């Protein structure tokens, strides 16, 4: 089962590396990492998406808390959480495909950023599963580049 | 204004540490030079950086203090990794100061540059790269604090050589504040009450005590509680000595090579109080069958080990000594007489295989007999350092440990080559006790160069080589589970160990006859060392009892008695 974990850390050298390494060294899944400055100056919030049964998740939470400079670890309850992820895509798109592509972008409530005769660049925001779906749909065309931020999340 | 190197020594002094272990190199020349300006801290120079880490580890295990290692960048730092990992697995407090290349060339693959933060991250509790002189004093204070509080562990401080000679007006702080770093809180009264409630309803309770007892220092409280309530105690390899082996409530070590009765008690128990231990696979065997019929109470400072391997009925995060001190206030004699008699009967029926009366051909001494002779002749009043393998288990089974912190051994990582350098560290701690370093003929060669350190500092260590001409523990598995195919485990090309010791300037004797064993041990104890004794052993001795890996109590093999 998928889980989002919110980790608040003091902004110190190597802390993100320790958090990420905890997953790699113990064979835990790490589906996405999203990090940046948190609400307090000098702190960072790291949102990690992972999968595992209850026992594994409980263990992950305890091990995360054991890392020096991690001061709060929260397992986010999906019903009490707002989450979003940003995806940037550049597609090869000739004039003949343009209408169809723009239509699809609109369907996903995306926004065109740049367009020329050969390519279109756009962004889509939403849940990880929405972006997974969108990615599948746009694979019908030639995706030149695709980048995702990982899910950011806060309490409702 | 103070210089970086002055601050480093000041930080060490503030911790009350008077011996550090190290090896010089290009990026720590300024720091080593600083030692010449003072007399309070002795820098013990070993012969290999791995040995510096093990020596510091032995120092910490025997003394209970945090220990310090100082090595240079690149290979100096990477050579300490095994020593750091050994300390990490057994929660030993240690600060490792590594020199680093100049700040300006970090990241350019400079000469003797290694990403020390990267390579040490998985084996440290925390680590630091010092990026400016102004942050050095705070980092040093934090490093010692983190290494020695909570669940202790090694902390690396990587200090570029240019920063060592820079000046700052920053002082070493008196206090540290790390948001979110959990200090060990006193255990709430109601949790202890709940624990006692469970214990008092048990009819076959057992205490399962681990290395946390050494770290928290609760041996007296452990024995007092067990005596008051009438509960038998089994210890892990690292927990040995927290109850004297000769105590009527001591069941000895449990686990893969544990004593029959210790494992029987765990199998039969209806309640187990696990103290400062982490349910290691060498203890549990098959997890599903381990303590399948017992209620479990688990006390540990690290919440990460509670419910990690085995779901427990009551988990208590806190210090073991605190828990025992509080439990003592509740303790009342329990009706465990029948249970204790049952265990005494088991001990009589299933003693540890003993070879006191067995005839032995010259050069084919039984290892059990040799270890027991050391135990009898010291009366357990010794710091015993064991390496890894068969002799380690023979030591655990046949040396009757009497005091906490007197069996120093690499329990978690199982590091061959640990014994001699760790004994070097231990030799600086408790002068009233002789230091005996046991190694096999395999492990001894992994840090044999440290004979030079023993000679240089004339350390009172009795170095014992248990020579059975093979890599005994691996060979034992090959004998039992691999059709006796001895791939790479027969050591028939070993050098003359006594000759080597003499070349290093040490007195050395080979012992082959049963009748000489006690005499030679007495002689060595009289001299206090440095001295090397090589015992020529039966090459086919196997360690028993044994529960094969992943097995359970019913799979226990007793071996011939």
- What is the per-residue pLDDT across B416-467, written as a single tens digit (0 to 9) for each? 999 999 999 999 999 999 999 999 999 999 999 999 999 999 999 999 999 9
- What is the per-residue pLDDT across B392-407, written as a single tens digit (0 to 9) for each? 999 999 999 999 999 9
Percent of chain B surpassing pLDDT 90: 97
The predicted structure's pLDDT at residue B106:
96
The predicted structure's pLDDT at residue A26:
87
Same domain, A64 and A7: yes
User: Domain residues for A59?
Assistant: 2-76
The predicted structure's pLDDT at residue B252:
97
Task: Residue A63: list chain B partners with CB under 8 A.
Answer: 304
Same domain, A144 and A100: yes
pLDDT above 60 (res B33) = yes
Quick one: average pLDDT of B143-167? 98
Task: Give contacts of A 53-82 with B, CB under 8 A.
Answer: 55, 58-59, 62-63, 65-66, 68-72
| Residue B7 near residue B54, CB atoms below 8 Å | no
Element (H, E) at B382: none
Percent of chain B surpassing pLDDT 70: 100
Q: What is the pTM of this model?
A: 0.95
Gap from A62 CA to chain B (nearest CA, Å)? 5
Confidence of residue A1 (pLDDT cuts 50, 70, 90): confident
Nearest-CA neighbor of B424 among B70, B111, B108, B56?
B56
CA distance B119 to B344: 50
pLDDT, mean over chain A = 94
Quick one: average pLDDT of B126-146? 98
pLDDT above 60 (res B62) = yes
Quick one: average pLDDT of A7-28? 92
Identify the domain boundary among A30, A48, A76.
A76
What B299-302 contacts at long range (C-beta under 8 Å, 24+ apart), as own/partner pairs, is B299/B187, B299/B195, B299/B273, B299/B274, B299/B275, B299/B323, B300/B151, B300/B212, B300/B274, B300/B275, B300/B276, B301/B150, B301/B151, B301/B184, B301/B212, B301/B215, B301/B216, B301/B276, B302/A66, B302/B150, B302/B151, B302/B278
Fold of B189-349: Rossmann fold (3.40.50)
CATH at A113: 3.30.70.1150
Contact between chains at B304 and A58 (C-beta distance less than 8 A): no
Supply the ipTM of this predicted assembly. 0.88
Quick one: average pLDDT of A138-149? 96
Beta strands in B243-294 (DSSP E): 250-253, 271-275
CA distance B96 to B67: 8
The partner residue sitting opposite B121, judged by closest CB among A21, A59, A72, is A21
Gap from A103 CA to chain B (nearest CA, Å)? 47
Task: Residue A25: list chain B partners with CB under 8 A.
Answer: 122
Quick one: average pLDDT of A57-80? 94
| Residue B397 near residue B250, CB atoms below 8 Å | no
Quick one: average pLDDT of B272-282? 96
Quick one: average pLDDT of B364-387? 97
- What is the per-residue pLDDT across B310-339, written as a single tens digit (0 to 9) for each? 999 999 999 999 999 999 999 999 999 999
Identify the domain boundary among A45, A76, A107.
A76
- What is the per-residue pLDDT across B185-231, written as a single tens digit (0 to 9) for each? 999 999 999 999 999 999 999 999 999 999 999 999 999 999 999 99
Same domain, A71 and A33: yes
Point out the least confidently predicted range of A78-82, B289-293, B352-356, B507-511.
B352-356
Contact between chains at B128 and A13 (C-beta distance less than 8 A): yes
- What is the per-residue pLDDT across B81-122, written as a single tens digit (0 to 9) for each? 999 999 999 999 999 999 999 999 999 999 999 999 999 999
pLDDT above 90 (res B353) = no
pLDDT above 90 (res A13) = no
CA distance B334 to B337: 8
Q: Tell me the three-class secondary structure of A86-132, residue by residue.
A: EEEEEEECCHHHHHHHHHHHHHCCCEEEEECCCEEEEEEEECHHHHH
Element (H, E) at A43: strand A43-51
CA distance B264 to B555: 11
Describe the strand order of the beta sheet including B233-235 as a list of residue ranges: B250-253, B233-235, B205-209, B271-275, B295-300, B314-317
User: Which CATH superfamily does the domain covering B367-543 fall into?
Assistant: Thiamin diphosphate (ThDP)-binding fold, Pyr/PP domains (3.40.50.970)
Chain A interface, mutation test: which of B138, B152, B179, B308, most A Cβ atoms within 10 Å?
B179
User: Which CATH superfamily does the domain covering B2-168 fall into?
Assistant: Thiamin diphosphate (ThDP)-binding fold, Pyr/PP domains (3.40.50.970)
Strand partners, B127: B156
Quick one: average pLDDT of B228-243? 98
Burial class (CB in 10 A: 0-12, 13-18, 19+), B197: exposed
The predicted structure's pLDDT at residue B529:
82
Quick one: average pLDDT of B170-195? 94
Residue found under tokens 């080979």: B510
CA A1 from chain centre, in angstroms, equals 16
DSSP B147-167: HHSSS--EEEEEEEHHHHT-E
Instruction: Quote the DSSP letter at residue B270.
Output: S
Identify the domain boundary among A17, A47, A76.
A76
Nearest-10 Cα torsion for B501, B504, B507, B510? 10
Quick one: average pLDDT of A119-144? 96
As given in the structure block, the two tokens for residue B449 are: 């160069």
Task: Give contacts of A 23-42 with B, CB under 8 A.
Answer: 25
pLDDT above 80 (res B560) = no
CA B197 from chain centre, in angstroms, equals 34
Same domain, A87 and A129: yes
Q: How many residues does chain A have?
A: 156
Spans of all domains in chain B? 2-168, 189-349, 367-543
The predicted structure's pLDDT at residue B356:
85
CATH at A42: 3.30.70.260
As given in the structure block, the two tokens for residue B58 are: 């032995």
Same domain, A98 and A58: no
Count up the domains in chain A and report the number. Answer: 2
The predicted structure's pLDDT at residue B496:
97
pLDDT above 60 (res B561) = no
The predicted structure's pLDDT at residue B493:
87
Task: Residue B180: list chain A partners with CB under 8 A.
Answer: 8, 10, 65, 69-72
pLDDT above 60 (res B74) = yes
Same domain, A95 and A145: yes
Q: A-B interface: how many C-beta pairs under 8 angstroms?
A: 49
Same domain, A70 and A24: yes
Same domain, A51 and A102: no
């Amino acid at each position: 089962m998928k889980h989002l974990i919110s980790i608040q850390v003091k902004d110190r050298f190597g802390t993100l590396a320790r958090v990420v390494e905890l997953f790699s060294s113990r064979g835990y899944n790490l589906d996405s990492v999203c990090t940046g400055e948190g609400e307090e100056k000098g702190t960072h919030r790291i949102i990690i998406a992972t999968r595992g049964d209850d026992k594994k998740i409980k263990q992950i939470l305890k091990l995360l808390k054991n890392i020096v400079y991690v001061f709060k670890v929260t397992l986010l309850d999906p019903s009490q959480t707002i989450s979003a992820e940003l995806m940037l895509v550049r597609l090869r798109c000739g004039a003949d495909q343009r209408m169809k592509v723009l239509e699809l972008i609109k369907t996903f409530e995306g926004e065109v950023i740049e367009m020329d005769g050969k390519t279109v660049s756009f962004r889509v925001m939403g849940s990880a599963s929405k972006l997974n779906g969108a990615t599948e749909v746009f694979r019908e065309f030639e995706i030149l580049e695709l980048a995702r931020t990982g899910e950011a999340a806060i309490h409702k | 204004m103070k210089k970086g190197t002055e601050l480093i020594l000041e930080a060490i002094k503030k911790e009350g540490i008077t011996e550090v272990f190290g090896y010089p190199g290009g990026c720590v020349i300024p720091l080593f030079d600083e030692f010449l300006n003072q007399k309070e801290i002795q820098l013990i120079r070993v012969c290999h950086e791995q040995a510096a880490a093990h020596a510091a580890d032995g120092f910490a295990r025997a003394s209970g203090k945090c220990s310090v290692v100082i090595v240079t960048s690149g290979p100096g730092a990477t050579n300490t990794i095994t020593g750091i990992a050994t300390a990490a697995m057994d929660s030993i407090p240690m600060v490792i100061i590594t020199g680093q290349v100049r700040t300006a060339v970090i990241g350019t693959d400079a000469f003797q540059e290694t990403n020390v933060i990267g390579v040490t991250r998985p084996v440290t509790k925390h680590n630091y790269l010092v990026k400016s002189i102004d942050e050095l004093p705070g980092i040093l204070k934090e490093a010692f604090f983190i290494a020695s509080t909570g669940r202790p562990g090694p902390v690396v401080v990587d200090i570029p050589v240019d920063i060592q000679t820079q000046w700052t007006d920053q002082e070493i702080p008196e206090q540290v504040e790390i948001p979110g770093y959990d200090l060990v809180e006193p255990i709430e009264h109601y949790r202890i009450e709940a624990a006692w409630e469970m214990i008092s309803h048990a009819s076959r309770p057992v205490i399962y005590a681990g290395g946390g007892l050494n770290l928290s220092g609760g041996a007296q409280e452990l024995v007092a509680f067990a005596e008051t309530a009438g509960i038998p105690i089994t210890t892990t390899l690292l927990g040995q000595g927290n109850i004297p082996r000769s105590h009527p409530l001591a069941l000895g070590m449990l686990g893969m090579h544990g004593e029959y009765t210790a494992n029987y008690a765990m199998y039969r128990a209806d309640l187990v109080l696990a103290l400062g231990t982490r349910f290691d696979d060498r203890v549990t065997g098959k997890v599903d069958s381990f303590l399948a019929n017992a209620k479990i109470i688990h006390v540990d400072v690290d919440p990460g080990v509670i419910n990690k391997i085995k779901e427990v009925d009551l988990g208590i995060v806190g210090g073991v000594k605190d828990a025992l001190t509080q439990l003592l206030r509740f303790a009342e004699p329990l009706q465990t007489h029948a249970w204790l008699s049952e265990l005494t009967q088991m001990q009589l029926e299933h003693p540890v295989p003993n070879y006191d009366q067995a005839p032995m051909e010259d050069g084919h001494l039984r290892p059990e007999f040799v270890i027991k002779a050391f135990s009898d002749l010291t009366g357990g009043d010794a710091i015993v350092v064991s390496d890894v393998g068969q002799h380690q288990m023979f030591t655990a089974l046949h040396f009757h440990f009497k005091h906490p912190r007197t069996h120093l051994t690499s329990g978690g990582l199982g590091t061959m080559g640990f014994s001699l350098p760790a004994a070097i560290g231990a030799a600086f701690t408790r002068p009233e006790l002789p230091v005996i370093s046991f190694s096999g003929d395999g492990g001894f060669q992994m840090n044999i160069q440290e004979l030079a350190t023993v000679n240089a500092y004339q350390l009172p260590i009795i170095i014992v080589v248990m020579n059975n001409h093979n890599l005994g523990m691996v060979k034992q598995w090959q004998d039992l589970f691999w059709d006796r195919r001895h791939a790479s485990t027969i050591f028939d090309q070993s050098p003359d160990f006594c000759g080597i010791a003499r070349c290093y300037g040490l007195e050395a004797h080979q012992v082959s006859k049963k009748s000489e064993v006690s005499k030679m041990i007495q002689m060595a104890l009289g001299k206090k060392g440095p001295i090397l004794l090589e015992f020529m052993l039966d090459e086919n001795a196997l360690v028993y009892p044994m529960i094969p890996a992943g097995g359970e109590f019913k799979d226990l093999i007793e071996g011939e008695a």
